[in-house]
Structure formats: structure tokens, C-alpha cells
């Protein structure tokens, strides 16, 4: 009877924590054991070369035994002797691979290649106890004739004794737990399930992972029959592809291969709009294969959508949606990152989200923005297609960063222009400004066509100034966050004084407002919704317009009203200061002046109709549409008499 050796107290506590707390998905035990097997083969490969041998037929084998409820994973790697089994498995978190890698760093290899070891054997190994009542490790070290057997139930310590084994390497036998109400451990005896898990987590392990798989095969001698006979047979099959696409040189990969990989791995039947593939060498080395989709992903604006990149460590799958690798405004980017240098804490499932991830994230951010900038310059049509799908995310990137990312993003923004009749960049807007234009003018609304007809837009266009026509709720917030572009402040054309008049025009307008002060004051008292009624040169042909005072703009008022309605909470109304401006060169002004001398009630009705018209132009609802309609009909009837 072999002596049962106790785990150290701290090891027992850590084992219990790992089994019950650390791993979110029990299925990753297979990833851990396969990764350890791959590490062991790596070690043997180097050992063989150093001893003048030629490594051949290296691989990993999985065997399932439903009758005895065992899952066995075997490798023909370096193997372990008694001392190494004691050190690596008797003390949890003792890292055989880490120690090996540290030793190799001290030796200058002739090829100057880093040893590719995932590490943490003594940690990942114990994930086996999540699914097994008993784990047996049979191992024979390369160059030794003696094998040893380590066995444990993960609770009452372990035994370690000499054993018999053909050939070098390690065999791990898991005696699976019985099924219960919470878990079906029998699924790990299903060859299809195991095949799927290998494909999911270990598809790019560099050595073949083989297993017997049931297939349908034609019975020999029945091929000429009208109905051939088939039988179920088991054949050994390699489960993994072994060579990741991103491990190949870019020159050896066609765009068709990139596109096919995208469609297969990121569930899209369309080719991506853009592919970004690059490698970084340095203190933190990694490879990134990124895609910009050609259409908005399904559910992109729902809570269920999970942004982030797939994360691999040396070809081993770690995490599916690693949000830490992308800033929020690039959440539309699909793809993966494979790093050689990630710090893995306790298990490969729990990453140290620290300096390494920040370095990778920063490099990815710079690369994607650089690619988008290049696309804007070299393929405007494709960039505008991208902008239609994901431009809103870049705008939110500016707004959410409160100005910190202005320099990164402002040159990528597009806004519709009243002059170009198409989206323009801020650089394009500024480069076409007349010399006497100081501000960048914009106006907000729901429809480009409607905004383009607005009185103030016509006035600005008459002076040769173009106007940015904003249609998204976030647009005005974005421009306010940027503040100014190349020392040209952004100015809401429907707010405050635009200072468009000459000194002579200003003086003449001032005199007119003073001369008709009594009439303008009467009109203001007739319209409770306005703070001021004034004559203005802001209008070109239209009789009136509504402008906002300094502070809150009309568009921001609408946004806050929408937010209050959506929240369902009672919030104090936030309203912009409303100023009604009258065109002194329009016929309606002459009517008002004439009527004021003979019928002030008529002036009151005309003023209210003009105010309602100005509200409609600005996209505000009028309080009483029926009364407005009656007043318009009555006034028309009076003028026709």
C-alpha cells in the first residue's frame, strides 16, 4: 500500500479555491491539460536537439472510456521523474514550465529563439479536479527507464510510487465525477463534445491532437449494390488545425483567406470592409488580426452585444470578448490578439489586466486610427461607407472622453455640408472658408433638406459661408466638446449674435429697433413664449425666425426633453431662451407697422401666427394647432376682402 502524502495546508486551501471559485467554465480543464502536454513536448524537442537526436512523431492523444468513465490525455514529451512529480504536483502553483523557461533564458541559444512555453503546470493541472474524482499521472522522463505514478482525489493528499510505462512522456487519467443536478460530467466522454472543445480552445496547438472518432464507412463488397451498406467504425482523427492563419507571413496569406477566416470565426456572411493585420515586437510582443465589418453587426446597439477581441496566448484561446483590448469607441472592430508575453495569474482564465494589456490596447488603437485615416485619404467611398455604419461611435468617442481624444478623432469626423451637399471633414470645411470667415457655422435638425432651407442657412450661404448640417443628437455635444478647430470656434447659427453685419448695417438696424421699440414690445407681450422680439438682418427672404439666446440651444433642449421622457422621471424643464427675429425687408413688417396704428388686436394675432410658424421651422410643436389654423384662415380672409 503506497504511502499517502499530505498536501501542504496552503496548497489544500488553494486547491479548494481553484475548484470552486477560480474557473468560470469547467470545460477549460481540457485546455489546461492539453497546454501542459504541449509544453512538455516543447521541452522534449529542445532536449532532443541538444542531445543530437531528431524529434519525430510528436503529438497528444485523447482516449475516452465510457464504461469506466475515464478520460485520458497522453503526450510523448519530456516526462517527469519522481522528484519533478513531487515538486510540480505535490505543491500547487509550483511552476515547472516557468522554472524551465527561466533556465533557458540564461542560456544563449544558437538560433536566438525564445522557448515557447505557456507555463504554470502546477496550477492548470489541478483544474482536472473540477471534473474528476480521481486523477492519475503516469510519467516517464526522457532518458530514463523508470516511470512513476502520482495519484490523488484532490482531498486526502496523494500517492507517488514507481510504475511501468512504455516510452517517455506523461499520461493523465481522469476518473470523471458522477452526474448530478447541476452538472453532466458524462458529456466529457462524448467524442463530439471533446472535438468541439479542442477546436474552441486548442485548435492552434502546434502538435497534432488525435482521438478515435466514430464515422460512417461503406461495408466492403457492398459498393456495387443498389443500396450500399454502411457501418459505424472508429478512426483516429487529428482534431486541431495546428497552424493559425495569423502565424503565417502576411505575404503568404491571400485576401480570400483573410475574408474566409473572418466569416467563419465572427459569424458574418459578408466580407469585411477592411482587414488590419500586424505584428509588434518588443517588451510586449503580439500579433493582431483585426477586421472592420462591412455592415452593422446584428444587435450592435443592444445590451446583449459583446464588444472586444478574442485573446490568445501563444495560440491557446484565453478569452472570447476581451473588452480591455479596445477603447469603447472602437467596439465595432472584430478580430483577435495573440500575445507571447501575457501575465497569467493562477489560471489562464484570470488575466492580470495591467500594463501589458494597456500597451496592447494603445498599439491597437493607434493602428486602427491610422488605417482609418489612410482609408479616408485613399478611398473616400469606402470610408464614407464605414462612416455611415460606425461614425456615431467615433462621435461618442470624442464626447465621452470630454476632449481628451480630440486630436485622435477630430480629423476622422464627417458632417454634411450646405455647400458640398455631401459629408465633409473639418479640414475640408476650414480649407474652403472665405478669408473674412472666423467661425465654423452649424445648425441642428432632423432633416438635411429642411435645414438647408432654413432662413439662417440661406443668409449664411448668401455671404459665401457653408454650414454644417447636424442630424445626430450627439453632434452638437461633439462640437462643443472640441470647442474650436484650427483656432476657428464652432458657432451655432441659430443661437446668439452671429456678428455678420457691417458697422453701417449694425447702426441702421439699431436705429430701426429703437424707432419701433413700442411695436416690438407689444409683439413680445402678445407672445408669452419669447423673451424678446427684434428686427434682424440675419434673415434673407423669410419673414421670421426663432433663435436661441446664449446658453442652451434648441437642439440641446430637444435632447434633454427626450432624455426626460425616456427616463420616466419628473425633471424640471430645460428650455432655451427664445428670441423672435423679424425681417425688416419683408412685406409682413410693413403690414405689422400699418396695422399697429389702426388695429392692435390684429397685430397680436399676426404676431402669434408668426411665432407658431417660427416654431414649426425650428421643429417645435405648436401648443394649439387648431387655433393656429383658424387664425391663419381668418387673417387670409381679412386680407382678401
Q: Which phi and psi (to 5°) does residue 478 adopt?
A: -65, -50
Q: Is the pLDDT of residue 43 over 50?
A: yes
For residue 320, is pLDDT > 90? Answer: no
Burial classification of residue 141, based on how many CB atoms lie within 10 Å of its CB (0-12 exposed, 13-18 middle, 19 or more buried): buried
Q: Which three cell numbers stand for residue 617?
A: 421651422
Question: What is the rounded average pLDDT for all residues in the chain?
Answer: 85
Cell numbers describing residue 601 = 388686436
CA atoms within 13 A on the CB side of 558: 19
Model pLDDT, residue 76: 95
pLDDT digits (tens, 9 = 90+) for 55-65: 889 999 999 99
Identify the pLDDT of residue 350: 47
Phi, psi of 364, deg, nearest 5? -65, -45
Residue 24 — pLDDT band, cuts 50, 70, 90?
low
Provide the pLDDT confidence category of residue 176 given band limits of 50, 70 and 90. very high
Measured from the Cβ of residue 175, the count of other Cβ atoms closer than 10 Å reads 18
CB under 8 Å to 373, separation ≥6 — which residues?
411, 412
Residue 491 host element (H or E): strand 488-492
Distance in angstroms (rounded) separating the CA atoms of residues 404 and 589: 48
Q: Is the pLDDT confidence value at 1 over 50? A: yes
In the block, residue with C-alpha cell 524529434: 55
Contact 402, 413 (CB under 8 A): no
User: In 3D, which of 410, 201, 204, 369 has the Cα closest to residue 276?
Assistant: 369
Q: Which residues contact 418 (CB under 8 A, 6 or more apart)?
A: 451, 452, 457, 460, 461, 466, 467, 468, 469
The reported pTM is 0.71
Strands (E), 167-243: 169-176, 209-218, 230-238
Going by their DSSP bridges, the two strands 415-417 and 334-339 should be labelled as unpaired
Helix/strand/coil percentages in the chain, nearest 5: 40, 20, 35
The band of 226, judged by pLDDT with boundaries at 50, 70 and 90, is confident
Residue 396 φ then ψ, to 5°: -65, -30
**What is residue 186's predicted lDDT score, i.e. its pLDDT?**
95
Sole residue written with cell 495519484: 151
Say if CB 161 and CB 151 are below 8 A apart: no
Average pLDDT (536-542) is 83
Please give the backbone phi and psi of residue 274, each rounded to the nearest 5 degrees, phi first.
-150, 145
- When pLDDT is averaged across residues 244-250 and rounded to a whole number, the result is 89
**Which of 86-95, 338-347, 583-592 is predicted least confidently?**
86-95
| DSSP states along 14-81 | HHHHIIIII-S-GGGHHHHHHHHHHHHHHHHHHHHHHTT----S--EEEEEETTTTEEEEEE-S----
Q: Which three cell numbers stand for residue 405?
A: 481624444
pLDDT score, position 628:
84
- Distance CA(46)–CA(83), nearest Å, equals 21
Confidence check: pLDDT of 510 > 80: yes
DSSP SS3 for 625: helix
Evaluate whether 428 touches 481 at the Cβ level (below 8 Å).
Answer: no
Contact 358, 286 (CB under 8 A): no
Mean local confidence (pLDDT), 616-633? 84
Contact between 343 and 351 under an 8 Å Cβ cutoff? The reply is: yes
CA distance 106 to 84: 21
Q: What is the pLDDT of residue 108?
A: 42
- C-alpha to C-alpha distances, 84 to 42, 91, 99, 143, 494, nearest whole angstrom: 17, 11, 11, 14, 78
Closest CA to 271 of 292, 254, 301, 250: 292
Asked whether the CA dihedral 578, 584, 589, 594 is positive or negative, the reply is: positive
**Per-residue b/e over 61-86, b at no fewer than 16 CB within 10 Å?**
bbebeeeebbbebbbbbbbbbbebbb
Q: What would you report as the CA-atom Rg of the chain, rounded to the nearest whole angstrom?
A: 37
Q: pLDDT tens digit string along 80-139?
A: 999 999 888 755 444 444 454 455 455 544 445 444 433 333 457 888 888 999 999 999
Q: Name the DSSP class of 554.
A: H
* Helix or strand (DSSP H, E) at 614: helix 600-618
pLDDT digits (tens, 9 = 90+) for 425-434: 999 999 999 9
Which residue(s) pair with 495 in the sheet?
548
Span 15-27, average pLDDT: 67
Distance CA 136, CA 151 (A): 4
Find cell 425616456 and name the residue. 566
Highest mean pLDDT among 22-31, 108-117, 351-360: 22-31
Task: List, in sequence order, every residue forming a beta bridge with 64; answer none if it has no partner.
Answer: 71
Q: How far apart are the first and last CA of the chain?
A: 120
pLDDT at residue number 106: 54
Q: Name 216's bridge partners.
A: 232
d(CA 445, CA 395): 17
C-alpha grid cell for residue 576? 432655451
Q: Which of 621, 618, 576, 595 is nearest to 526 (CA)?
A: 595
pLDDT > 50? residue 348: no
**Three-class SS state of 128:** helix
> Would you state the cell numbers that stand for residue 428, as one nine-digit string?
475640408
Q: Could you tell me which residue, 323 or 289, shows the higher pLDDT?
A: 289
Report residue 480 as a C-alpha cell.
462643443
Grid cell listed for 330:
472602437
Residue 640 has pLDDT above 70, yes or no: no
Query: What angle in degrees, to the nearest 10, is found between the helix axes of 625-640 and 600-618?
Result: 130
Rounded to whole angstroms, the Cα distance separating 39 from 316 reads 12
Cell digits for 451? Answer: 435645414
Q: Of all helices (H) and strands (E), which one includes residue 440?
A: strand 440-444
Closest CA to 451 of 464, 463, 469: 469
Between these two residues, 282 and 294, which has the higher pLDDT value? 294
What pLDDT is stored for residue 218 in this prediction?
Answer: 78
DSSP, res 323: G
Nearest partner of 168 among 145, 136, 150, 149, judged by Cα:
145
Q: Strands, DSSP E only, in 76-131?
A: none
How high is the pLDDT of residue 523?
Answer: 92
Coil, strand, or helix at residue 234? Answer: strand
C-alpha cell at 635: 387673417
Question: Using CA atoms, how far apart are residues 619 and 554, in angstroms rounded to an integer?
Answer: 9
Instruction: Note the pLDDT of residue 565.
Output: 65
Q: What is the tens place of the pLDDT at every residue in 158-171? A: 899 999 999 999 99
Please say if the pLDDT value at position 376 is more than 90.
yes
Amino acid at each position: 500500500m503506497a504511502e499517502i502524502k499530505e498536501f501542504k495546508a496552503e496548497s489544500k486551501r488553494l486547491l479548494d479555491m481553484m475548484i470552486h471559485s477560480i474557473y468560470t467554465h469547467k470545460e477549460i480543464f481540457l485546455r489546461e491539460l492539453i497546454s501542459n502536454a504541449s509544453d512538455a513536448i516543447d521541452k522534449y524537442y529542445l532536449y532532443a536537439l541538444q542531445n543530437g537526436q531528431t524529434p519525430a512523431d510528436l503529438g497528444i492523444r485523447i482516449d475516452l472510456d465510457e464504461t469506466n468513465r475515464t478520460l485520458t490525455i497522453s503526450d510523448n514529451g519530456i516526462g517527469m521523474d519522481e522528484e519533478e512529480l513531487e515538486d510540480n504536483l505535490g505543491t500547487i502553483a509550483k511552476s515547472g514550465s516557468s522554472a524551465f523557461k527561466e533556465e533557458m533564458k540564461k542560456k544563449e541559444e544558437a538560433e536566438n529563439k525564445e522557448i515557447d512555453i505557456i507555463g504554470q503546470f502546477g496550477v492548470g493541472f489541478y483544474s482536472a479536479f473540477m471534473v474528476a474524482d480521481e486523477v492519475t499521472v503516469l510519467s516517464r522522463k526522457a532518458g530514463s527507464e523508470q516511470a512513476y505514478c502520482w495519484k490523488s482525489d484532490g482531498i486526502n493528499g496523494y500517492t507517488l510510487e514507481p510504475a511501468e510505462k512504455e516510452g517517455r512522456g506523461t499520461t493523465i487519467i481522469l476518473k470523471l465525477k458522477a452526474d448530478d443536478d447541476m452538472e453532466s460530467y458524462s458529456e466529457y466522454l462524448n467524442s463530439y463534445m471533446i472535438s468541439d472543445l479542442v477546436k474552441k480552445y486548442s485548435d492552434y496547438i502546434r502538435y497534432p491532437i488525435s482521438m478515435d472518432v466514430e464515422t460512417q464507412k461503406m461495408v466492403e463488397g457492398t459498393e456495387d449494390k443498389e443500396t450500399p451498406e454502411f457501418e459505424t467504425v472508429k478512426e483516429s482523427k487529428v482534431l486541431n488545425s495546428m497552424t493559425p492563419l495569423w502565424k503565417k507571413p502576411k505575404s503568404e496569406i491571400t485576401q480570400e483567406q483573410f475574408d474566409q477566416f473572418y466569416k467563419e470565426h465572427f459569424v458574418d456572411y459578408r466580407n469585411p470592409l477592411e482587414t488590419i493585420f500586424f505584428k509588434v515586437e518588443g517588451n510586449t510582443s503580439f500579433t493582431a488580426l483585426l477586421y472592420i465589418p462591412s455592415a452593422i453587426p446584428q444587435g450592435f446597439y443592444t445590451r446583449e452585444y459583446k464588444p472586444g477581441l478574442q485573446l490568445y496566448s501563444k495560440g491557446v484561446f484565453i478569452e472570447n470578448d476581451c473588452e480591455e483590448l479596445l477603447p469603447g469607441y472602437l467596439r465595432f472592430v472584430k478580430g483577435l490578439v495573440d500575445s507571447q508575453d501575457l501575465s497569467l495569474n493562477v489560471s489562464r482564465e484570470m488575466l492580470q489586466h495591467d500594463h501589458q494589456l494597456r500597451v496592447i490596447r494603445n498599439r491597437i488603437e493607434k493602428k486602427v486610427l491610422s488605417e482609418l485615416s489612410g482609408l479616408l485619404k485613399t478611398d473616400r467611398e469606402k470610408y464614407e461607407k464605414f462612416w455611415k455604419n460606425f461614425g456615431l461611435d467615433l462621435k461618442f468617442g470624442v464626447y465621452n472622453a470630454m476632449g481628451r481624444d480630440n486630436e485622435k478623432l477630430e480629423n476622422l469626423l464627417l458632417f454634411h455640408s450646405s455647400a458640398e451637399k455631401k459629408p465633409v471633414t473639418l479640414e475640408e470645411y476650414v480649407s474652403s472658408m472665405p478669408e473674412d470667415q472666423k467661425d465654423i457655422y452649424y445648425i441642428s435638425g432632423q432633416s438635411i433638406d429642411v435645414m438647408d432651407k432654413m432662413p439662417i442657412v440661406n443668409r449664411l450661404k448668401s455671404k459665401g459661408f457653408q454650414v454644417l448640417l447636424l442630424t445626430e443628437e450627439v453632434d452638437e455635444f461633439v462640437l462643443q466638446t472640441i470647442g474650436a478647430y484650427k483656432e476657428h470656434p464652432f458657432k451655432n447659427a441659430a443661437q446668439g449674435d452671429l456678428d455678420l453685419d457691417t458697422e453701417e448695417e449694425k447702426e441702421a438696424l439699431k436705429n430701426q429697433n429703437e424707432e419701433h421699440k413700442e411695436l416690438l414690445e407689444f409683439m413680445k407681450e402678445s407672445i408669452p413664449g419669447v423673451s424678446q422680439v427684434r428686427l434682424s438682418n440675419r434673415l434673407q427672404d423669410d419673414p421670421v425666425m426663432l433663435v436661441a439666446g446664449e446658453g442652451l440651444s434648441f437642439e440641446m433642449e430637444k435632447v434633454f426633453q427626450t432624455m426626460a421622457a425616456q427616463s420616466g422621471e419628473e425633471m424640471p424643464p430645460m428650455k432655451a431662451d427664445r428670441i423672435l427675429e423679424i425681417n425688416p425687408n419683408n412685406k409682413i413688417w410693413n403690414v405689422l407697422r400699418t396695422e399697429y396704428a389702426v388695429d392692435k388686436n390684429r397685430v397680436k394675432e399676426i404676431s402669434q401666427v408668426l411665432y407658431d410658424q417660427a416654431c414649426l421651422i425650428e421643429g417645435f410643436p405648436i401648443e394649439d394647432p387648431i387655433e393656429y389654423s383658424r387664425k391663419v384662415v381668418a387673417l387670409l380672409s381679412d386680407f382678401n376682402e
